[in-house]
Structure 1
């Protein structure tokens, strides 16, 4: 990971802060683009790419930040481009492919999104991560998945046996068209934690009952043996007296 130094010093003086930014690889373009975009916004130079600004200082700053987070071989390939937008678009086209390739990728993502279901052994966070990954890929390809669609897909993909009651409650009390995805995730996480606590309590209770049941026969066997011993002892005693 490269260290990108923030241009503006901290308030009140002091040295500049450092932001960790991932180096672009053949497999992390989507995440890389998200982080670099945020970094450019922090430095107030994102409009050099978004609006193709011709302000020299902004172009130079944006280009410099991008160059610090791409491999040397790629720097050599795009170094002749004279604006930050051209550099950005060139990198994007290399990693995202042409329009036809991008459209083909979208066509594979849509069925993947529709088929996605939460497995019984998945946690809420596991499943949310899968949804978010597909959503991020789709956004990078130029197709935003609307938030209400994420909410609807999320609730409809949960295992019914485990979550049917909370889903039914949310559908009754919330307007799912305006409810944020983060709000739904928070509610389901809280419900999952509560269910987990109850399951752990039931498991502990079952173990205690099992332990008590296993110890009970041992005690009865001991008492039975002791009573038999006493009975045999008394019988032997009287028998000896009668013989005497």
Structure 2
């Protein structure tokens, strides 16, 4: 939180493409603390000007409208320029919130499908004959890095085991030696395995 003249200024969390779940939880708390979350959750509907309201109803309607605009303002405070464009046309806090939710649910589904495809590619990886170790490592790490960017936990030992079990037959005896010398493959790094296999290749 920033301070100015001894007054604490609250810093709203900034929404990014990677932190929607955390951002939405914090913003729900912030909106709730300010008494605005109910407006976001249930929505606010403008009354038809033709509908006759008594003074009490008019005041209640104006109060709800003000709270909704304040809620919308709070949501805007947590967005950068790119994210703001997605809700720029929203006229209520609920509309803005639902728009962001649908967008990130769609992004999440696409990520899940892409990650599932990459898992399949990783499982099917095999070293082609007449290809170098460095070429094969490049193929493996390209897929591994894509999986990591999508949130997959990829420990070195998982990649090491995959490579050892998928190099071509020219490296069979080297694989046996490596596995004998490294009973606990969890302690072997990808770089160490690459060095060992490339040393044999030369």
User: Structure 2 length normalisation: TM-score?
Assistant: 0.48
**What is the TM-score with the length of structure 1 in the denominator?**
0.40
- Give the number of the structure whose alpha-carbon radius of gyration is greater: 1
Structure ranking higher on relative contact order (CA contacts 8 Å, 6+ apart): 2
